[in-house]
């Protein structure tokens, strides 16, 4: 397995450069599956990995990613106190036959990304906004220094 960092396009599409594979890895890829039908080469169904920017303000963690061409109902955000997962699918709506393409570089299909957050956040108060293909998720930080006084009531 190579330790070289994948390019933006390779991360987006889940592909690898052809020259980067050792002979051993090529053999692994072409091994036939031992499932019900031994006539098919085993394929890896990997989701593309979303590229993100993650930064903080004094009160929030902000996650931004490009989701151009994805309908809001095709996006799924799962937020916990210490991580966020963004998952979705970009559906190709064109009906152009393969032989009519000169270049085909756009990514279509499923993608996801899980990010471990640098601070705890309040999932209930989070908000996600999409504008011109840019998804911005605002995650309010939990203020661990905040203290509240509670009065004891007699019942």
- Read out DSSP for 24-78? HHHHHHTPBP-SS-TTSB----PPEEPP-EEEE-SSEEEEEEE-TT--GGGEEEE
User: What are the pLDDT digits (tens) for 22-78?
Assistant: 444 444 444 444 444 444 444 445 678 889 999 999 999 999 999 988 888 899 999
User: What are the pLDDT digits (tens) for 100-152?
Assistant: 888 888 788 899 999 999 999 999 999 999 999 999 999 999 977 777 778 88
**Topology (CATH) of 47-140:** Immunoglobulin-like (2.60.40)
Provide CATH 2.60.40.790 ranges for the chain.
47-140
pTM of the complete model beyond 0.75: no
């Amino acid at each position: 397995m190579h330790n070289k960092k994948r390019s933006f396009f390779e991360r987006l599409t889940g592909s690898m450069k052809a020259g980067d594979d050792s002979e051993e890895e090529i053999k692994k890829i072409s091994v036939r599956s031992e499932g019900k039908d031994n006539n098919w080469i085993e394929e890896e169904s990997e989701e593309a990995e979303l590229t993100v920017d993650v930064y903080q303000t004094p009160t929030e963690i902000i996650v931004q990613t490009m989701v151009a061409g994805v309908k809001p109902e095709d996006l799924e955000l799962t937020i916990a106190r210490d991580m966020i997962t963004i998952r979705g699918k970009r559906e190709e709506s064109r009906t152009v036959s393969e032989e009519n393409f000169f270049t085909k570089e756009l990514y279509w299909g499923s993608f996801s990304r899980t990010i471990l957050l640098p601070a705890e956040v309040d999932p209930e108060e989070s908000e996600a906004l999409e504008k011109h293909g840019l998804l911005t998720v605002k995650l309010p930080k939990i203020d661990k220094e905040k203290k509240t006084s509670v009065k004891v009531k007699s019942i």
